Structure 1
């Protein structure tokens, strides 16, 4: 029976990816007349129904333009935040050329960072007007994923976009629960294979995830290094603290408070 259920979930995932590629085509044909954020949110919310990921949201996103900054545990983080708010992301430029994933990311309005010296300034010039126009932008400044047990130092260069656009930074802490057998299956780190990680998640439906939207930090209060350090401290404290008894919103299967 378990294998049958896994096969059904895999089939639903393949169908959902095909739907995503159709949406990619629609966004491309629209030539900028369709804003990708609502479609991205809708698609990711339905993705989590396939995985039966149980999401609890604590707090809420800032209404106006802002920079969302989060710790980074898994590829799931991107889908998770995209399901919680209408936002765009910053990703390394290599992602643009990945099969399927690159097409989905580009259609979602992802901004790409060319790694190396001088790569951040051209990107910041793109991010500032987007933030000033009221957009939400999500950044994972650790630069890599972790097991979720700690938060790495934040790279501060792209925090300049919040400062130059005079938009607040909203820290977000993401914490995943364990599988039914006690294993920590959410992280996607090191030499992990994406396909294997996806299958493992499909084999273990009902994984819990908490998303903590923390009070925004005014961009003008600190220079970029200080802003990055303050954001990291707030996120780290939230991850160490117990979850509040009752979330404001629950996506996926609703959890009892």
Structure 2
């Protein structure tokens, strides 16, 4: 029965990926013909894809809080690659990702087509990157980043790095803190975290073969960026997410 469930979920997911690959190719061709950036269309297409991808995964989703009615810089804790489709289905978002993802077969191309911005670790170009993020936000395009800079097992919350929050201040947009967690029988799920030396295919197969997993997403009170510096913003967002996850922010910040 488990194998049948795995195969059916795999077929469902492959069908969705095949369809969105075709659509992304058509949008890319249309952009070239029109010589015009269709980011808004790509974001809406990505949201459509993420919603169907999330439905193909073994998740039971509950969302608490209100979706922002204006463009914001979303900041969330980070547990797995599955955070992206689950959060991306809520609103037409772009994401900030590590540069290595750009070279992943198919997934990297799809991420690029979805409007993902890529960052190279240790490149020392945070000023230029903040300008790019600010330009993106300034055009009214919501953006989500994971300020921990890495994934965790969901039982700790690492320090939020503030260097990329300058883009929110310079663009005059608020922060939208988000808390996400995965539960099985009321306890943190140990299948979902994508950490360490785990590889994408093995993780996906384990996930597709698993029993349903509860996902809780909390959209927290937005934080105005106009009166705070980037480090103050980072600490405020970190404390809000830590509180929502029932994690002690000061202890975890020192441990990070």
| Same fold, TM-score > 0.5, yes or no | yes
Output the TM-score relative to the length of structure 2.
Answer: 0.89
Please list the CA deviations of residues 90-135 of structure 1 after superposition, one character each: whole Å capped at 9, or x if unmatched: 1112211111110111011011113224322222112212212221
Describe the shift of the 1:181–1:211 C-alpha distance in structure 2 as closer, same or farther (beyond 3 A).
closer
Match of 1:95 in 2: 101
Q: What SS is found at the alignment partner of 2:204?
A: helix
Describe the shift of the 1:7–1:76 C-alpha distance in structure 2 as closer, same or farther (beyond 3 A).
same
Match of 1:106 among 102, 112, 116: 112
**Take 1:160 and 1:104, find their aligned partners in 2: how far apart are those partners?**
28
**Take 2:120 and 2:162, find their aligned partners in 1: how far apart are those partners?**
15
Match of 1:248 in 2: none
Please list the CA deviations of residues 18-64 of structure 1 after superposition, one character each: whole Å capped at 9, or x if unmatched: 12211221221121246211111111111122113111110122111
**Take 1:226 and 1:121, find their aligned partners in 2: how far apart are those partners?**
18
- Determine whether 1:128 maps to 2:109: no
Aligned length: 241
Match of 1:202 in 2: 208
Q: What SS is found at the alignment partner of 1:75?
A: coil
- Determine whether 1:13 maps to 2:19: no
Q: Which runs of 5+ in 1 are unaligned?
A: 242-257
Relative contact order, CA 8 A, sep 6+: which one is greater?
Answer: 1
Match of 1:252 in 2: none
**Take 1:108 and 1:117, find their aligned partners in 2: how far apart are those partners?**
23
* Aligned Cα root-mean-square deviation (Å): 1.8
Describe the shift of the 1:179–1:197 C-alpha distance in structure 2 as closer, same or farther (beyond 3 A).
farther
Shift of 1:6: 1.4
Q: Which runs of 5+ in 2 are unaligned?
A: 32-36, 248-256
Describe the shift of the 1:33–1:142 C-alpha distance in structure 2 as closer, same or farther (beyond 3 A).
closer
Output the TM-score relative to the length of structure 1.
Answer: 0.88
Match of 2:44 in 1: 38
Q: What SS is found at the alignment partner of 1:84?
A: coil
**Take 1:203 and 1:98, find their aligned partners in 2: how far apart are those partners?**
23
**Take 1:180 and 1:89, find their aligned partners in 2: how far apart are those partners?**
29
Match of 1:159 in 2: 165
